Amino acid sequence: MIPIARPMISDDEIQAVTAVLKSGMLAQSKVVEEFENAFADYVGVRNAIAVSNGTVSLDIALKAIGIKPGDEVIVPSFTFIATANAVLFQGAKPVFADVDERTFNINPNDVLEKVSDKTKAIIAVHLFGHPFDVYAIQEICEDNNLYLIEDCAQAHGAEYEGTKVGGFGIAGCFSFYATKNMTTGEGGMITTNSDEIAKVCRLLRSHGEGQKYQHQMLGYNYRMTDIQAAIGVVQLKKLDDFNEARINNAEYFDEHLKVSGLTLPYKKKGVKHVYHQYAVTIEEEKGFPISRDDFMGYLKDKGIGCAIHYPLPIHKQPLYRRMGYTEENTKCPVATALSGKILSLPVHPALAEEDLIYITETINNIR
């Protein structure tokens, strides 16, 4: 079976973890600090704060900018649920914006429709590794006095107009979950150029503790371990190579996949797309020979992993339906339509040339 994702772990990571295990310092210590410094340098920001996963990176970032009950935060409806749930954790209201049909990213025109006098921030997601329309979203934030948080969980190393994502807003939030472009097993990072926000994030991460047993605010235990950080330090050095392999794989598919009704990923001028997912759309109305479900069954029978990211837009998730979100009051028709036709194919760096050829021929031979 060719899996939809595969972490790239080799002896380097194993040795780094072994060294930490032998050191006797297992929790957050010097290796976390080393990882934070290397990550800040890589992204090109003043501060990076390592945490236990990507979800809490969003939680802490929203708390640090002061989001509270009564506030609204605009998020795309087409993303992983953590983006919106982070707003709920503050007791605030996620307001869903629709996405662009081609990039699948938050649509600035729809964001403008959804800004109200309660809006305090926008969380925009660089979905599947393709940067969102940063300048347009930044402009909306400036005009309306809103904070911008970048959800970079799927976009380590992606670039917008030559600059790496993670430093365009007040905070960038990364995930190092096992299937991401780089991993620490589980893990997360907040990037920020604001020393003040960085300070609050560090306090929130560890029980509001400034000095040992001096607790200045209500915080959590959201710390990363040195074991995770050791993997992160090694993975970060390999990230550009991993991304290059993903890009090469995507370019192979772009050139060779040819079936009517199958639309390949769009890449906007001026961006570096790092293909966390290679997401195609399948449309029988446009001539694709079988339904998406049957196509998934066909790929499975042929030993090719695939996945739907995401089968429901967030406003249609049971949790959100129960809270009163409906298609009518949310108005995100593009997100809803996309969830019915999107499909991710394997694009990870572990694919061999024969995998690319096999995947392409299997898909092109669909009848």
Ligand X SMILES: Cc1ncc(COP(=O)(O)O)c(C=O)c1O
| Three-point CA angle 157, 161, 165, nearest 5° | 35
Considering only 39, 42, 78, 80, the residue that binds ligand X (CB under 6 A) is 80
Residue 98 in the binding site for ligand X (CB under 6 A): no
CB of 171 to ligand X, least distance (A): 13
Please name the residues in contact with 10: beta carbons below 8 A apart, sequence gap of 6 or more: none
Residue 55 in the binding site for ligand X (CB under 6 A): yes
Please name the residues in contact with 255: beta carbons below 8 A apart, sequence gap of 6 or more: none
Residue 151 in the binding site for ligand X (CB under 6 A): yes
Task: Decide whether 181 or 288 has the Cβ nearer to ligand X.
Answer: 181
Q: Residues 179 to 238: which contact ligand X by CB under 6 A?
A: 188
Position 366, amino acid: I
Residue 154 in the binding site for ligand X (CB under 6 A): yes
Cα separation values, 325 from 100, 116, 138, 331, Å: 21, 17, 27, 10
Position 296, amino acid: M
The CB-nearest residue to ligand X is 54
CB of 54 to ligand X, least distance (A): 2
CB of 5 to ligand X, least distance (A): 11
Residue 51 in the binding site for ligand X (CB under 6 A): no
> What gap in Å lies between CA 139 and CA 119, rounded to an integer?
15
Strand pairing class (342-345; 278-282): antiparallel
- How many residues bind ligand X (CB under 6 A)? The answer is 14
Task: Decide whether 236 or 262 has the Cβ nearer to ligand X.
Answer: 236
Cα separation values, 191 from 97, 206, 233, Å: 24, 17, 16
Considering only 28, 77, 83, 181, the residue that binds ligand X (CB under 6 A) is 83
CB of 129 to ligand X, least distance (A): 10
Considering only 49, 67, 111, 153, the residue that binds ligand X (CB under 6 A) is 153
> What gap in Å lies between CA 225 and CA 221, rounded to an integer?
11
Task: Decide whether 279 or 359 has the Cβ nearer to ligand X.
Answer: 279
Task: Decide whether 132 or 288 has the Cβ nearer to ligand X.
Answer: 132
Q: Residues 108 to 127: which contact ligand X by CB under 6 A?
A: 125
Do 96 and 119 form a contact (C-beta atoms < 8 A)?
no
- Give the number of other CB atoms < 10 A from CB of residue 326: 11
Residue 259 in the binding site for ligand X (CB under 6 A): no
Residue 169 in the binding site for ligand X (CB under 6 A): no
> Shortest CA distance to 251 belongs to which of 265, 232, 237, 269?
265
Chain positions contacting ligand X, by CB under 6 A: 53-55, 79-80, 82-83, 125, 151, 153-154, 175, 177, 188
